[in-house]
Amino acid sequence: MAAAAGGSRGSRPRRVKLPGIAELLRPVPVGLPVPVQRPASGRETHSQKITVYLSADELLDLEKGRLTLRSLGIPVDRGRLVREAIAVLLADLEARGEDSVLAVRLGLRARADAGDGFHGDR
């Protein structure tokens, strides 16, 4: 007999909590300048893989971004959206260095984390 939808680990199927309308329509900050073009891979077979763990809010924001693009007539999957976001951030880092969005955000985070003794990204 076929395994239940939730897999064979437990007796209950895995339930995914879907966002409500308030979460989907939460306002998104505007106004990041678009940096110099840096190509991101498109729909192709990728030979390299990484695993990234996200909080529930980060995953919700990623899905909202995907749905926003879809409403603009740009169908995109999560992987493509992430690859494009990485390309944009790295182009900005390359063009603006310590003034880039990534350097500023990570620098602020590093200073905030300095007092807690946790350095999980090292």
Does residue 56 fall inside a structural domain? yes
Does residue 121 fall inside a structural domain? no
Q: Quickly state the pLDDT bin for 111 (edges 50, 70, 90).
A: confident
Does residue 105 fall inside a structural domain? yes
Q: Is the pLDDT of residue 101 over 80?
A: yes
pLDDT for residue 117? 56
Residue 91, C-beta contacts closer than 8 angstroms, at least 6 positions apart: 35, 36, 37, 38
Does residue 108 fall inside a structural domain? yes
Could you give the C-alpha distances from 44 to 16, 56, 68, 81, 91, in angstroms and in order? 28, 28, 23, 14, 21
Mean pLDDT, residues 77-93 taken together:
91
Does residue 19 fall inside a structural domain? no
Q: Is the pLDDT of residue 6 over 60?
A: no
Structural domain for 65, as ranges: 51-115
Does residue 37 fall inside a structural domain? no
Q: Quickly state the pLDDT bin for 23 (edges 50, 70, 90).
A: low
**Rounded Cα distance, 110 and 112, in Å:** 5
Does residue 26 fall inside a structural domain? no
Q: How many domains does the chain have?
A: 1
pLDDT for residue 61? 95
Does residue 94 fall inside a structural domain? yes
